[in-house]
Structure 1
Amino acid sequence: MALTREEREQFLAEPHVAALSVNAAEEGRAPLTVPIWYQYAPGGDLWIMTGRDSRKGISIAGAGRFSIMVDRVTPTVRYVSVEGPVVATLPATRDQLVEISSRYLPAERVDAYVDFAWREHGEQVVIHMRPQRWLSSDLGGV
């Protein structure tokens, strides 16, 4: 059964690890699908952080859009998939890295991870996507 707009937006706002898919920038390659952290608040744009020169970053820049899918299996099987255009790509800030890391990591591990990632991951960008097409379902007690 499809979720209501409020249900799907609230589910997407929870800290799931997403599967990101984007058409590959290289001819003859299948779409790139990788796990990624993301940030979303109901009614707003979704954003991710990635390396500017990563395969992900290059593919998204070339395609101008991407999709993510999040799911769970308990207490019910539920998923939300959203696809849309890139509306902004901006240099990442350390504060954004702290924000997204705090969403996924225990508080006591955030500072060490941020220090490591800021130093070792190279130039990062924040890519904003406007959710345009949604698919969702909750299989209830199945």
Structure 2
Amino acid sequence: MALSTAERDALLAESLVAALAATAEGGRGPLNVPVWYAYHPGADFMITTGGGSRKARLIASAGRFTLLVDRTAPTYRYVTAEGPVTSTAATTDEELAEISARYMPADKVPAYMEQLRSSEDDMVTIRMRPEHWLSADLGSV
């Protein structure tokens, strides 16, 4: 059974890792990788990645991507959102802190941010406006 908008937003508010899918080149299957994300109801999804990563290049080429967020307990629920990229820009400290704080203890965020900032690959923030949604609670069947 499809989730209501409120149920969908509640699932997306949980600290769950998303699976990102982006069209690949050369007849290969789509790239499908885990990502941390931020989402606020009615707004764009936000992810961060290395600007030179394959993920960033494929998203830029396709101009859109899909996110799948699921959880297995107490019932299996999932949400997919697919849509166009609305912006790609250098990641700010505020964006990096927002996403990181969803997935790790607050006292670990500064060191994690410093580690990312010291890498050779500059981070970019990619925003996606969800146009197409799929969702279900398979435990309610």
TM-score, normalised by the number of residues in structure 1: 0.94
Give the length in aligned residue pairs. 141
User: What is the CA deviation profile of residues 49-98 of structure 1, one whole-angstrom value per residue up to 9, with x for unaligned ones?
Assistant: 01111000000000000000011110111000110000111111122111
| Partner Cα separation in structure 2 for residue 118 and residue 111 of structure 1 | 10
Is contact 1:20–1:33 with CA below 8 Å preserved after alignment? yes
| Partner Cα separation in structure 2 for residue 51 and residue 13 of structure 1 | 24
| Partner Cα separation in structure 1 for residue 120 and residue 12 of structure 2 | 26
Q: Which residue of 1 aligns with 2:72?
A: 73
Q: Which runs of 5+ in 1 are unaligned?
A: none
Q: Which residue of 1 aligns with 2:32?
A: 33
Q: Which residue of 1 aligns with 2:12?
A: 12
Is contact 1:10–1:42 with CA below 8 Å preserved after alignment? no
Counterpart of 1:111 in 2: which secondary structure?
helix
Change (3 A) 1:111 1:120: same
Question: Which is further off, 83-92 or 1-10?
Answer: 1-10
Q: Is it true that 1:91 corresponds to 2:85 in the alignment?
A: no
| Partner Cα separation in structure 2 for residue 141 and residue 2 of structure 1 | 10
Q: Which residue of 1 aligns with 2:112?
A: 113
Give structure 1 regions of 4+ aligned residues with deviation exceeding 2 angstroms. Answer: none
Is contact 1:94–1:118 with CA below 8 Å preserved after alignment? no
Q: Could you tell me how far 1:110 is from its partner in structure 2? A: 1.1
Q: Could you tell me how far 1:10 is from its partner in structure 2? A: 2.4
Q: What root-mean-square deviation, in Å, do the aligned CA atoms of Structure 1 and Structure 2 show?
A: 1.3
- Structure 1 vs Structure 2: percent identity of aligned residues? 53
Q: Which runs of 5+ in 2 are unaligned?
A: none
Counterpart of 1:15 in 2: which secondary structure?
coil
